[in-house]
Chain A
Amino acid sequence: MRAFRDAGHLFRLAAVFLAGFLVFLVVRSVLVPRSFGRYGHYRADAIAEIAALPVSYAGHQVCEGCHSDVAEMKSKGVHKRVACESCHGPQARHADDPGSVVPAKLDTAVLCARCHQANIAKPKTFPQVEAAEHSGGSACNACHQPHSPAIGAGGNP
């Protein structure tokens, strides 16, 4: 067994490699999050973190819980599918604390025109007006109740 007479240095070298491998395992287990790779090559906990973000728009079901009178009027008019927060803005904070968070008053001149100002690219069946010619400068809600806007419908003159 002459060939293995000085084999001691090989074992020392193997020990160094083994130690390096163990250090690698330790560092890897510290640096790689536990959820990494549960569903794929990414950190699965990121999904739960994104899902836990706060909501700004409460949703029209929440609004209708308290404002049933408006929901009732709206359900009979052409705006029945327009969500409350589409005009009133995000109201999750108001829904959480209705006493102290009060929604701002709205300007119908801006809001109504956003949808109903005539534009060649809008679908032809969608009701559109040239705002300046249509009202002669008076506010939209002087004639139209925004929650049920047809003239002669409930709440309109």
Chain B
Amino acid sequence: MTITRRQLLILLPAAAVAWDYLLAGTPESAPNYQMAEHWWAMLIDITKCIGCGSCVRACQLENHVPDGYYRTWVERYHVEDWEVEYPKVDSPDGGKNGFPGAKETGGKNFFVPKLCNHCADSPCTQVCPVGATFVSPDGVVLVDQKYCLGCRYCVQACPYGCRFINPATETANKCTLCYHRITKGLTTACCENCPTGARQLANLKDPKDPIHEFLRTHSVQVLKPQLATRSKCFYNGLDGSVR
């Protein structure tokens, strides 16, 4: 059988369409989870954080984060009397094993847990040249590990320093807000294991979520509000010295 040029020109696009359907497959999905009903956020109460590092350990074990890298970490701030522009900050091993006794005495001392702020207008997703990182329809900033080239643009773009290159895969890695847990009805590993309830996962689209009452009745701030990233990590009791 010979194929004429005319037949080939018809066959090629037909083959392309057929191949397209062949590749599609059926993606796995959580049956009862509706993305449209969620807009995820986190509430962090600095007045409750004791710097025990449970969140950091839990995150590392849940998400297989390599040693020396952090999807969440805890910083200890020490602010002398009036110099709020020059806080002394330390975070030994991300606060994973707690904090040694402070050398400084007096002043203002507190812990600040940090993680991806899951910004609604995220600077990191805008710079990706291949569409490997994105804000999901339910408000979580995720990385497509199969698409990421490891070009590091997003690592530089994040104003909060929340991204890193995983040395094992050479791709960008970051907090997924435990997307594999929250879509199954669980809370994140850090929120689950915080002994004082300093971290609370919240669904802003759920009118019954306690975050709405909290936001109405407390002075809540986000990190670097001047960058207009529309961060969804809300800090209660955030000091002006925190960067």
Q: Note all chain B residues with C-beta closer than 8 A to A114.
A: 52-54, 97-98
Is the beta-carbon distance between B195 and A47 smaller than 8 angstroms? no
Is the beta-carbon distance between A51 and B30 smaller than 8 angstroms? yes
User: How would residues 61 to 80 of chain B score, 1 for a CB under 8 Å from any chain A CB and 0 otherwise?
Assistant: 11000000000000011100
Is the beta-carbon distance between A120 and B105 smaller than 8 angstroms? yes
Within 8 A of A (CB), among B18-46: 19-21, 23-24, 27-30, 33, 35
Is the beta-carbon distance between A120 and B132 smaller than 8 angstroms? no
Partner among A22, A47, A57 whose Cβ is within 8 Å of the Cβ of B189:
A57
With A55-B62, A60-B192: A48-B29 Cβ-Cβ less than 8 Å: yes
Q: Note all chain A residues with C-beta closer than 8 A to B160.
A: none
**Complex: A83 Cα to B109 Cα, angstroms:** 26
In the complex, what's the smallest C-beta–C-beta distance from B186 to chain A, in angstroms? 5
Asked if A13 is at the interface of the complex by the 8 Å CB criterion, the answer is no
Is the beta-carbon distance between A55 and B110 smaller than 8 angstroms? no
Q: Note all chain A residues with C-beta closer than 8 A to B187.
A: 59
Within 8 A of B (CB), among A29-53: 29-30, 33-36, 39-53
Within 8 A of A (CB), among B151-186: 176, 179-181, 183-184, 186
Is the beta-carbon distance between B146 and A43 smaller than 8 angstroms? yes
Is the beta-carbon distance between A52 and B28 smaller than 8 angstroms? yes
Is the beta-carbon distance between B54 and A55 smaller than 8 angstroms? no
Partner among A35, A40, A54, A121 whose Cβ is within 8 Å of the Cβ of B109:
A121
With A83-B195, A86-B54: A29-B16 Cβ-Cβ less than 8 Å: yes
Other A-B contacts than A39-B136, A86-B58, 17 sampled, CB-CB below 8 A, are A29-B19, A30-B23, A34-B21, A41-B131, A42-B131, A43-B147, A45-B27, A47-B136, A48-B28, A50-B176, A50-B179, A56-B62, A59-B186, A60-B192, A114-B97, A115-B50, A123-B48
Residues of A with Cβ closer than 8 Å to B? 19, 22-23, 25-26, 29-30, 33-36, 39-57, 59-60, 79, 81-83, 85-86, 89-90, 113-115, 117-123, 126
Residues of B with Cβ closer than 8 Å to A? 9, 12-13, 15-17, 19-21, 23-24, 27-30, 33, 35, 47-54, 58, 61-62, 76-78, 97-99, 101-102, 104-105, 109-111, 131-137, 142, 144-147, 176, 179-181, 183-184, 186-187, 189, 192-197
* A-B contact list, 9 entries, CB within 8 Å: A29-B16, A34-B20, A39-B137, A41-B134, A43-B146, A49-B145, A114-B52, A119-B51, A121-B51
